[in-house]
Amino acid sequence: MSAPLRAGLVGLGAMGRNHARVLSGLDGVDFVGVVDPAGRPDAAPYGVPLLETLPDLLALGIDYAVVACPTALHEEVALSLAEAGVGALIEKPLADSVEAAERLVAAFESRGLLAGVGHIERYNPALQSMRVRLEAGELGEVFQVVTRRQGPFPHRIADVGVVKDLATHDIDLTGWVTGQTYVSISAHTMARSGRPHEDMVAAVGRLSDGSMVSHLVNWLSPLKERATVVTGDRGCFVADTLTADLTFYANGETSTEWEALRAFRGVSEGDMIRYAIPKREPLLVEHEKFRDAFRAGGDGDIVTLRQGLRTVRVSAALLRSAKLGTTVSLQEVASV
């Protein structure tokens, strides 16, 4: 067997500690060190050395690092990793601007280094099952994707608003499960918590196949909700990513003798199926996919930097739409 990969971690906030937990028990990987740019902890968990600086971490001879520091630091940290010839798994969003995301894509691609983005929802069992079923045509033509992501404010967030922190989940998963790209987006945002960034967003858009999307995201609700609803001509799929459940609501086939109603082509309620699907922790699966891709020397099933860039571009278009009060075409947003 080949030697274990040597992995490091940058950032020990709430998400960083989850990465540390998974790395500490990941087969085929030696978790060798942590550095926290925010300087929060007194010691690293799981008996891993807590280092002073990123150069100290690089000096341990790591193969790749997980970047889980604040979004504003992603570019600086990841560029240092690329310059050192080290791969990276970068928490979402890839960067805090389109230009920064483009620089990261260029830095890693020009050196032939593997790098991915931690869009964890792609590894949620409910969404993975939904994607397979959509690809198999079980829903027929897709008409609309609706996502709702609501809950209390996560105090770990200080440098971005709800669009970059939470809506990027829904932007990425929508494009991924449908296999489509965003064409345009229109949005409204609100700030109600006294912070400099937006707390709520409502957005509608159109995908490249002509289907509609709708995203409702906030962190000011006592109701915690993570729902993705895809509607097509055979019914709809409903994924709850909190419980990893996927339910199918079929269109019923009933006839009506009421002549006035026959003139309207609608649907009726049919069978409902909640699928029994295997459920593994999404973060563990994400790490396994990155490890396997690193060993195989290809992208495998990871979220590539270019895919992460597309999500940053859509989030930038969303914020631009909210600022200008108009629909924004994705062609208006810079790209590589």
Predicted local distance difference test score (pLDDT) of residue 264: 57
Reported confidence tier of residue 193, pLDDT bands at 50, 70, 90: confident
Map tokens 């040597």 to a residue. Answer: 6
For residue 98, the one-letter residue type is: V
Predicted local distance difference test score (pLDDT) of residue 181: 97
Q: Give the SS3 label for residue 182.
A: strand
Q: Does the pLDDT value for residue 18 go beyond 90?
A: yes
Query: 149 to each of 171, 197, 221, 222, how far by Cα in Å?
Result: 11, 17, 10, 12
Predicted local distance difference test score (pLDDT) of residue 156: 63
Q: Any idea what DSSP says for residue 164?
A: I
CA-closest candidate to residue 303, choices 105, 30, 136, 159: 105
Q: Does the pLDDT value for residue 332 go beyond 80?
A: no
Q: Does the pLDDT value for residue 144 go beyond 50?
A: yes
Q: Across the chain, what does the average pLDDT equal?
A: 92
Contact predicate 186/322, CB 8 Å: no
Reported confidence tier of residue 336, pLDDT bands at 50, 70, 90: very low
Reported confidence tier of residue 335, pLDDT bands at 50, 70, 90: very low
What confidence tens digit (pLDDT) does each residue in 159-184 have?
789 999 999 999 999 999 999 999 99
Q: What is the mean pLDDT of residues 16-31?
A: 97
Torsion of CA 9, 10, 13, 18, to 10 degrees: -20
What confidence tens digit (pLDDT) does each residue in 67-104 have?
999 999 999 999 999 999 999 999 999 999 999 999 99
* Angstrom distance (rounded) from CA 311 to CA 294: 23
Q: Does the pLDDT value for residue 288 go beyond 90?
A: yes
Q: Does the pLDDT value for residue 8 go beyond 50?
A: yes
